[in-house]
Every structure is written in structure tokens, then in C-alpha cells.
Chains A and B, each alone.
Chain A
Amino acid sequence: MAHGITPRLSGWSAVPLAVVAVPAPAYAVQYATADQVMRSTFPGADAFEPLQVSLTGAELRGIDAAAPAPTAAREPRLWLASSRGQPLGRYYVDEVLGKQLYITYSVAVGNDGRVLRVDILEYRETHGYEVRNPRWLRQFQGVRAGDELEPGVDIKNISGATLSCRHVTDGVHRLLLIDAARRDQ
């Protein structure tokens, strides 16, 4: 079928083009690496020791029953931050499903078991990237194992990124229980 397609640009259609031409401030925003986040969270640390989480199968099953989360690995990666041999806190890196793909995120926990900060290190999907918003992530500050962490209630969702919000919340919940179980050992 021969279709004479000769698009013409109406005057108003130039508006989106003009918006496109203006560099968005978002250009400057970069993902942090785990290294950067860890160092800025524990600026006084002189050592970051990688550790195995090392929970038993029964312990992990109990945690997964209490706080199910669509995580990629059985256990997260863990570093112990310390200064002159004195522990400052723990830093976890984990992956949790967004909608279809895994989000790499990290949770820094202080000696008191409370969340110092949560960061999105890598986001791979075409939608739902709003979970990287710093104000959304700040909702986790001060939370500790045992606190209510119901997605959408205790940690508010972002419309359009519901699944990513829910799963990151579930992931943090699970990490906090893992952290508490480790310390009880």
C-alpha cells in the first residue's frame, strides 16, 4: 500500500523539541558504586572487611518466611566497617527483583542495628526508576529489625514504581532480619 507520509511539524509541536534541547539537570547525577557509598557512610573507617553472612539453612528459611523478598542470592554480600579495630557498622549489597529485572541496592547498618542509609546502586528496567529518588530512600533511615515495614504503609510507594518500591522494601526488611540473626550468633 502506498501511503504518502509527509509529516509536517505544527508550530506547537516544536515545544517538546525545545524541552529536549535543554540539558536536564539529571545529566549530572551518577549512580554511586558500593565503594563510594560505603566510604561516605563510614568516613572514619580504616578497614572494610568482607565477611560471609554464614547463617544456617534453618535460620535463612525462618527469615524468608517472616520477610519474603524476591532476592537474587541466598545471602547478601557483607562488609564490616571498622576503625582501629572498633566496628562502626555493616554494609550489605543485595539484589532484589524490580518488575522483571534485578535492582542492585545496598543497606548500611550502624552498630545499633538501625539503617544508616539505603542506596540504589544499579537499576536496569525501563520503568520504575523512581525508586532511586533520595527522599524515597530516606524513609528507611533509622529503621531496624522488628520495625513494621509494610510496603505502601510504613514505606510509602511511588505510583508508577509500585513493584520496585515494594520489592526494595521487602529486601531491606529481609536484610535487617539477616543482620539481627548474625549479631545474635
Chain B
Amino acid sequence: MKPLAITHAVALALLLPAAAPSLAAPAADDTDARIEALTQQLETLRAEVEALRAEQRRQAGATAVTPAAVAPSELAVASAPPDGTSRSDASPITFTGYGEAIYTQPTEGPGDAIADLQRVVLGVGYRINESTRLEVEAEYEHAVTSADDSGEVAIEQAYIAHQVTDTMQVQAGLFLVPMGIINEVHEPPLFFGVFRPFTETAIIPSTWREGGVSLSGTNDFGLNWNVGLTTGFNLANWDPTSLEGQESPLGSIHQEMSLAVANDLSGYVSLKYVGTPGLTLGAAVFSGGAGQDQKGFQADDSQATIWSTYASWSPGRWNLTALYAEGYLSDTAALNLTFVGNPSLVPKRFWGGYGQVAYRGWSFGQWRLEPFARYELFNTGADYANIGQGLTPKPRPTEDVTTLGASLFLTPNVVFKLDYQFFGEPDFALGYADRLNLGVGYMY
């Protein structure tokens, strides 16, 4: 077996330094075993030489880009993907978006049926480098924005995100406050109901964003954390003649980084536990000056604080979600004294919460039907600062809303919605009237 003998000779020459101690052993009877071992080592070397050659060839002639994480030493050899390779590096630009059109028909009270292209959001992401991205989202509400129309055009998000480590990220710019569920995740296929829950519009003023910097991270335990220093609310924007403050106290004084008065900083801490599959627990608190230290303003020291907590659990095909949020505006007595006689005084405390049951129901081909039920309690004026008997407003009645409906998914990204809402305390001025809602929503 001459070829074998030559192979062994080469192997011996190559491996002599490493093999020397064992070769020095006089045991002639284990020669075969040694030959076997050397053959294996030779095979390993041969594979490595082949690997290096292939790597050289690949580098010389490669047109494909292999993601850095998948280029491990010899293992990348000859592993060029059969039909090209990763698209992940193809373009630094990504387009995203979502939108929803609704039809709502009050079945009680004087309200009209309304059809509305509620929002169209167009997003563009740009990869600046491997660890830095720019994300910008523009939102068009109610289809037309002009002097005669009530539409709105706004930049919903515009921030730079930089990956500091594999598990930690810093953001700067205009971004969503991580409070509750809907504020960050509000693409129509990702929440139930034609309309977002009241707690997450009237109490947590989604889509709520602030300008500033944030640092967020995750760990193997499944605890995600996010802290930020941001702009905040401006109580000087409170309009006592409008009902807007009763619809959403914080929603009527948020600044959305449009020439935001920024004498006071705000900040938040948000925690989310995702370590147990099927269970998500979240809690967040945001606080900051709402008086903005403005000279001559009666509530210049006012502080706005809001906190929320939620749990979402998915046993089997069911999903059970509960959320609670509560907010406060401090030092409002002097300001409210100047508002006496107007419809909307500034509340001291406002709160809301809901429980929701959804069932990941039935599939018909690519269609899927998911029914849900939600019961909600909220109060946008639960308490007012004392400004004297007869002047201090009475707490608003706590509103309760039951929503029954279903989402019909054409694909996971396209949804048709139908629901009916029952209001326990009808208030036609605020639109709290039993109603039938239809909607279509998409995301990409």
C-alpha cells in the first residue's frame, strides 16, 4: 500500500512536533492505533488546507456578501448560498408604513355616521452604518389637511438609533414614549377594535412622542429596560373653552416637539418582562414639569406624572390582557381659578384601565377570524384641585365601555375589523354613544 505509506510519511513530517512524545514511546503493538490517529489528524489538516484554498477562491471571486456573523473560519467554505445570498445588506433604505380607514355609526344620540381615512403613516429607515440607523415616520390624519379641513400632518418619529453593544441601544431625536401597549405598537393589525382603547388614547395620549435621548437594553433573563430624558407637556396650552382637555387631559397639552417649550426636562423609566413565552409584563412611569417655569403662568411649577402597568398572557389560543394607567397634574388650583365658568378645568387626577379577552380563532384558507371582548373603565377628570366650595368641579362620572367584535385577517398584515361599543355613561358631546364600527387596516 504505497500511497498509504507516502501519506503516512507526509503526516509524520507534518505532525512530528506534536506527535513526538507518543512516537518516542517504544510500544510497537499500538502502531496501528497511532497510524489511525495520525490519519485522522492528517484528514483534519487536509480539510483545513482545502478550507483555506476555498476561502481564497471565495474572496477572490466573491460577488456575494456573507453576513459577518456567519463567516466562521473554515466552516464558511464552499457554503456559498445556492442562489445568491443575503438580501439583508442589499439596500440601506427600508420603507414601512401602516394605515386605517374607519366607518362609525352611532346608534344612539345625535351624532352622524362618519367615514374617515383615519391615518396613513409612511416610514423610511436608513442604515447609516452597521450599528446606526435613522428612522422617520410621517403621519397624515383624516386624509386632507388644509385651511378648511381638519386633517393633520405630523412627524410621528424621527430618531437616530445606535447600537452601543449587542444588547444596548441609544436613541436621539423624536421617539415614542414606551408607556402601555398601544403607544409603541399601534399598527392596526396588532390591536383589537376599530378604535384604540380609551385608556390608551384618553389617559395615555397615544401616539405620544417626545424629543430627547433614551437608552434601552435587554438581557437573557428577558427584562427589557428603557430610560429617557425628554421634552414634556405644556400646561399653558390648556384650552378651558374646549372639550379637548376632557377627552384627553395629556393629549390636549402634549407638544410633539413642535417648537416645544423646554424649560423643564421630563424623564421616564420603562420595564418590560418577556422572559416567559406567552407572558408579557410591563410597567412605566413618566414625569416632568408641565408648567415649564413660564413667567407669569399661574401653574409654572405644575408637574405632569403618568404611570401604567399591564400584563398580557396567551394560554393556548387565548389572549388575556389587562392594563391600568393613572396620571396627575399638580399645582393647578391657581390656574383653575382663572378658568372658572369654562367647560374644561384642569383635573388633578385621571385614570383608566381595561381587560380584554381575544381568541385566535378560525382559519378559512388564508383568512383568519379572531373575536375579542374588552371592558374598559376610565375617568379623565377623577379629581380636581380644591379651589373652594362651589368652584371646585365635581369629579366626572367614570365611563364604562364594552366593546365586542372581531378582526378578520386576510394576511397577518391586512385586517378587517367590526365591533360594537356600549357606553355606560353616554356623553354625546364627547362622542360617548353606543356605536357600530367598521375598519380596514394594513401594515408593511
Contact = CB atoms under 8 A, between A and B. Distances in A.
Contacts of B275: 133, 135
Interface residues of B, number: 80
A86 interface: no
A121 B69 contact: yes
Given A5-B263, A72-B88, A130-B218, A34 B75 contact: yes
Interface residues of A, number: 74
Contacts, number: 203
Nearest to A157: B314
A102 B218 contact: no
A20 B76 CA distance: 39
A122, A126, A134: residue with the most chain B Cβ atoms closer than 10 Å:
A126
B69 A26 contact: no
Interface in B285-308: 287-289, 293
Contact of A20 (B82, B219, B227, B259): B227
A152 interface: yes
A33 B68 CA distance: 9
Interface in B65-110: 67-73, 75-79, 81-88, 94-96
Interface in B2-34: none
Interface stretch (B266-274, B348-356, B386-394, B396-404): B266-274
A24 B83 contact: no
B81, B225, B272: residue with the most chain A Cβ atoms closer than 10 Å:
B81
Given A16-B227, A16-B268, A158-B280, A6 B69 contact: no
Contact of B69 (A29, A31, A129, A153): A31
A75 interface: yes
A126 B287 contact: no
A102 B86 contact: yes
B165 interface: yes
Given A126-B161, A129-B167, 6 more contacts: A74-B84, A104-B69, A130-B224, A132-B167, A136-B274, A155-B277
10 contacts: A8-B263, A50-B76, A72-B87, A104-B67, A121-B69, A126-B133, A132-B218, A136-B222, A157-B278, A158-B277
Interface of A: 1, 3-10, 12-13, 15-17, 19-20, 24-27, 29-31, 33-36, 38, 46-48, 50, 52-54, 72-75, 77-79, 93, 95, 99-102, 104, 121-122, 124, 126-127, 129-130, 132-136, 139, 150, 152-153, 155-162, 166
